[in-house]
Every structure is written in C-alpha cells, then in structure tokens.
Structure 1
C-alpha cells in the first residue's frame, strides 16, 4: 500500500501509527518541501488494520495542514498509485479539491478500485458498450 503526503507533520503522524503497530514501511522523500511517499508492506497487515490506516489517511487528507490551508503548502495536488497489468506502478495525480470530494464520498479502497478499473479498460482498449458487460 502506498500513501502520498505533502508535508512532514502529516507523514510523521502516519509513520508513528505504523511504528506503533510494528508495520514494515519505506519512506521515499520526493522533494525538500516535505512531499514524501510511504510504502507499507502488506505482510502482517490485517484487513482491520488496513482499514484503520485508510481512515487515518482520510482524516489527514482532510486536515488543512496536510492539503494546504492559508499558511500551508502551495501544492495543489494529491495522487494514487495504480498497478498496470505488466506490474508497472504509476501515480495518478489528482487536484486536491477533487481529492477532497472523492474522499468525502468514497473510501480509499473504492477510489483505488475505480482507478484500477479505468487502467484495465484503457490497457485492454475495451470498447464494448456498457450493456455488454456482466
């Protein structure tokens, strides 16, 4: 699982939760402004704990110090990682205003599922009309 953060404070709070549960993770610093990506190993990650992490991430996503309030970051972007059929992982950048709307209506798992379905349809160039889908 991968989580993108745009400041150190939010990433540190998330990392503290991972460490409290003894979860293996990697942190990739993307730039000096505090943007980073935290990859969580799925070994030892129960469904319940994964849901709790998603809930925490949703909460951090909605906080002003994470997305950028009047004094926060100037970045106006968030993103999700999508796995392609060949195993390549790509990040889909999403404007934060849209991300806020998405996370208000859908869980992170549902958003990942949606983006995965779009990626599969694009990769396979599935041009069937909707009435031909199961």
Structure 2
C-alpha cells in the first residue's frame, strides 16, 4: 500500500462526503431553476448526465421541499469553511423553514424535521452540543 493511500483517514473521507453533498444540493437547485425557467427536462438531463426520469424526480423533490437553504446545507458550508460559526448560527437562528418536512409527490411523506436534522448533524460530528443548544433555543 502506498503512503498516499495510507494517509487517507476518516476526516478526509468526511470532507469528501461534505463536498459531494453540497455539490448534490447545488445540482438539485440548479436543475429545479432550469426546469422552472422553461428548459426541457431532456435538455437538463443531457447537461447534468442524468436520465430524464432522474431529472423529473429531482424537480419534484425540489418543488416539495423548496430550494432555499436547508439546515444541513448551512452546517456543511461551515464545515468546509465557506462561512464562519457565527454566520452559521445566525443563519440557522433566522431560518424560517423550521418545520416538519412536507409531502414529496414522488416519495410520499419524507421522514424527519429540522430538529432531527440538527440532531443528525450533531451525531455526524458537524455540530457541537453547545451549537445545538443555541440553535434549538432559537426555535424553541
């Protein structure tokens, strides 16, 4: 095994996951906005290397959940250094999308809520107990 491969650890894998997840969120947002702007789903599918059916599902999910910033997205942006902890906390305190998830026309009722998202981000090591307390207190 090479030294390079041996040097990849859990934090490297976590960072790769975060970058991939943020890219997925951004792709979904752009696909939705393109569809809302009138671009045919076949053209969108070709541009993002997905099937037309996958584009349809992404658009339906974005319609159900909205394309504003999610709790997850805000926290992950802080994790990769795009925003500071103070900015993250301020945006999470101010977020209005602090409700149980809506019904997705494709997948049905989506499990969870914003509070559960915060708890999952704590479990994943993306938030501290103190940060969770501050966020939940703001929405209590």
Query: TM-score, length-normalised on structure 1?
Result: 0.29
* Higher share in helix: 2
TM-score (norm 2): 0.28
